[in-house]
Structure 1
Amino acid sequence: MTETATAPISMTIRGTGSYLPRDTLESSQIDARFEWAPGTCLSRYGIEMRHVASEDETTSFMAAEVAKHALDMAGCKAADLDLILGACGVMEQPIPSTAVLVQNRLGLGRSGVPAYDVNATCLSFLQALDLAAMQISCGRVRRVLVFSSDIASVGLDWAHPEAAAIFGDGAAAVVVEAGGEGAVLACDFRTYGEGCDACVLAAGGTRVNPARGIRLGDDRFRMDGTQAYRVASRHLPRFIARLMRRADRVMEQLDCVIPHQASAQALEHAAGMLRLASDRMIDIFGRTGNQIAASIPTALDHAVRSGRFKRGDAGLLIGTSAGISIGGAVVRF
């Protein structure tokens, strides 16, 4: 694979949006649930609270809400979209896709605007953003909505606090369009299937389903954090070096790093490896938890609306996902 600089794709992120469910789960409530000493959850996992979706806050509902926020910032209407890409780690239902449900919620059910899902678990947003850039670069579309919406809380196994304590619900979206001052400078994505057993939700597909019977625990998310970390950390330094060469940038030229909010430990490790000052890395994990695919675009929206990622800035979107996969994009905002 080439490691030389790639040609930038002229594409601007015109609008961002995020949504956090009304209800919250505080770290003190997690301490009480496990009968831990006060402060244990915060000190062990670095999480203060996370949001939990109510029954009416479905995946497609939250996605439609963030789409409206992103469209509003972009100064356009849903009818101006040429493509809708759903980028959820877990779909609302197997068929039809979440993107179809969101298209209908946006009042486009009779429009014919293409709407479909892209899935790479926690890196679904980056893959969909890359696809949007390619569609724009070949002239097929001009304006694209990319959304991620995930409800992790429905699949947590509270017998395993390593995962149950850190995952939160939420949604985020971007509206991107051809031209403008922005650009995708480089994208890369690598998968190492040796870690395919590290993060698993077995039920919901053709192998484990209600018709054949679901064993206890198969409908709950299972994670071996140590294995996932071991596989990802082995490949991450080389991945980032290759991505930066493709972008023709060095780390010092980046104004902002927006990582997947996987865990407090993962963020700490990334900051140390990249030798970043705290003001250059977006870290919202303590108050959102790991929101699966919604994690990166939520952090992006936070960076934009807080003024930490401004027009003309160069930023790195980076993360890992079940697989184990590593993905990243260098963008000019």
Structure 2
Amino acid sequence: MTLISPIEPDTARSTRSSPYIAGIAHSLASRRRDSVEIDAEMGRPAGWLERLSGVRSRTVAGPDDSQEAMAGRAALAALKAAEISLDGIDLLLFGAAVGRQPIPATAPLIKREIGATHLPFPAYDVNATCLSALTALDIAALQIAAGRARTVLVVTSEIASRALPWQSDPKTAGLFGDGAAAIVLTATPPTSRQAGGPAGGSMSLRFRDFLMETHAEAYDCCTLGAGGTRFDYHDAPEAFAAHALFRMDGPELFRLSAAKLPAFIARLLDRLGWSHDDVDLVIPHQASPLALAHMARRSGFSGDRIFNHVAMTGNLIAASLPVALSSALQDGRIRPGMKLLMVGTSAGVSLGGAGLES
């Protein structure tokens, strides 16, 4: 859990247009599966899966790690860090690629999990696959800017270890892990009672701006085809079963991101009014070790300015970005006065990013 505390408001922009992150926390799944353990199960030599995927270990849901349980733990910890009670929430957004089930949305379940069923605030889902939590933060910021909310709880939770193609594509299957995170976004800065950031000092984060673009020509690069309206289980059970595993075209995704990422980052920096040199730390979607190395080469940022912990957690899909932000705070990588860039890609295919200031 990370505690966040105040900075002085920026007189150049109103607090309504730049809300504050008042609390953030993450909750990883309870089990840790090392790649060497999976090597043995698959009859492969030690080190095989790590060389293939780049991931040394990943967190995997155990019996007590339902999607809503992980989400609830993160949400309550973030609210505690922000010193905000349940009745101070105006809106709950749940951002994830895959919810508990198609209907109802997962957000009402999270509301029930944290004990807020008696309160009337709305709760709904946002799905932009791996960018879901970041997109939910943007929607939260817009709701605050419009005066429709003062405190928004953004929650994400993913159980990505299911529906993986271990037999046909272990390189892809080996990438993923399970976890959750939550962020409390407020219209005004945290109060002075919230002293003591992750390194013992006084710190807050301000959500500056957001940019997203979608390149639908790559729609089929990442798919989980079953479970929606595409296949009727009753009429076509074989087709339903055949598309019940995640599929990813890594080379095509690599090609598209290589072509689009530099210009996207340039547009995002221009929107923020920043240069490359202004950015102190980049917190990317922890897609894979290979993807992060590729990003460093293509984005113009040196490796020491890119937060990288995917080898120890795996790709947490939508939870990846907020877990990385929470971890960077916890590890003392973020200090007062820093400019942070959060950036990633998602199935569809979309690129998204946001600027934060500490």
Q: Which residue matches 1:43? A: 51
C-alpha distance in 2 between matches for 1:297 and 1:212: 40
C-alpha distance in 2 between matches for 1:70 and 1:30: 33
Larger CA deviation: 173-182 vs 258-267:
173-182
**1:303/1:71 Cα in 2 relative to 1: closer, same or farther (>3 Å)?**
same
Matched, 1:132 2:140: yes
Normalised TM-score (structure 2): 0.88
Residue 209 of structure 1 deviates from its aligned partner by 4.0
Residue 281 of structure 1 deviates from its aligned partner by 1.4
What secondary structure, in the 3-state scheme, does the structure 2 residue paired with 1:196 have? helix
Structure 1 segment 80-95 matched on structure 2, within 5 A: 80-95=88-103
Q: Which residue matches 2:194? A: none
Structure 1 segment 102-117 matched on structure 2, within 5 A: 102-117=110-125
1:293 is aligned, of 318, 335, 340, to 318
C-alpha distance in 1 between matches for 2:86 and 2:335: 25
Matched, 1:310 2:319: no
Q: Any gaps of 5 or more consecutive residues in structure 2?
A: 1-11, 190-203
Q: Tell me if the contact between 2:26 and 2:181 (Cα under 8 Å) persists in the aligned partners.
A: yes
Matched, 1:198 2:191: no
Matched, 1:74 2:97: no
1:174 is aligned, of 167, 174, 183, to 183
What secondary structure, in the 3-state scheme, does the structure 2 residue paired with 1:166 have? coil
Identity of aligned pairs, percent? Answer: 41
Q: Tell me if the contact between 1:182 and 1:312 (Cα under 8 Å) persists in the aligned partners.
A: no
2:127 is aligned, of 102, 119, 129, to 119
Q: Deviations over 1:28-54 (max 9, x none)?
A: 022223333221222232111001112
C-alpha distance in 2 between matches for 1:137 and 1:310: 26
Q: Tell me if the contact between 1:12 and 1:177 (Cα under 8 Å) persists in the aligned partners.
A: yes
1:146 is aligned, of 147, 151, 154, to 154
Q: Tell me if the contact between 1:150 and 1:292 (Cα under 8 Å) persists in the aligned partners.
A: yes
C-alpha distance in 1 between matches for 2:104 and 2:309: 32
Normalised TM-score (structure 1): 0.94
Q: Deviations over 1:266-312 (max 9, x none)?
A: 10011222343443211110111111100000001001111212344
C-alpha distance in 2 between matches for 1:120 and 1:296: 13
Q: Which residue matches 2:197? A: none
Look up the equivalent residue of 1:177 and give its one-letter code.
T
C-alpha distance in 2 between matches for 1:139 and 1:36: 57
Q: Which residue matches 1:254? A: 279
Q: Tell me if the contact between 1:157 and 1:217 (Cα under 8 Å) persists in the aligned partners.
A: no
Q: Tell me if the contact between 1:7 and 1:185 (Cα under 8 Å) persists in the aligned partners.
A: no
C-alpha distance in 2 between matches for 1:68 and 1:230: 40
Residue 86 of structure 1 deviates from its aligned partner by 0.2
Residue 263 of structure 1 deviates from its aligned partner by 0.8
Larger CA deviation: 295-304 vs 67-76:
67-76
**1:109/1:211 Cα in 2 relative to 1: closer, same or farther (>3 Å)?**
farther
1:162 is aligned, of 166, 171, 181, to 171
C-alpha distance in 2 between matches for 1:103 and 1:331: 27
Q: Tell me if the contact between 2:345 and 2:352 (Cα under 8 Å) persists in the aligned partners.
A: yes
Residue 7 of structure 1 deviates from its aligned partner by 6.8
What secondary structure, in the 3-state scheme, does the structure 1 residue paired with 2:342 have? strand
How large is the RMSD of aligned CA atoms in angstroms? 1.7
Residue 211 of structure 1 deviates from its aligned partner by 3.0
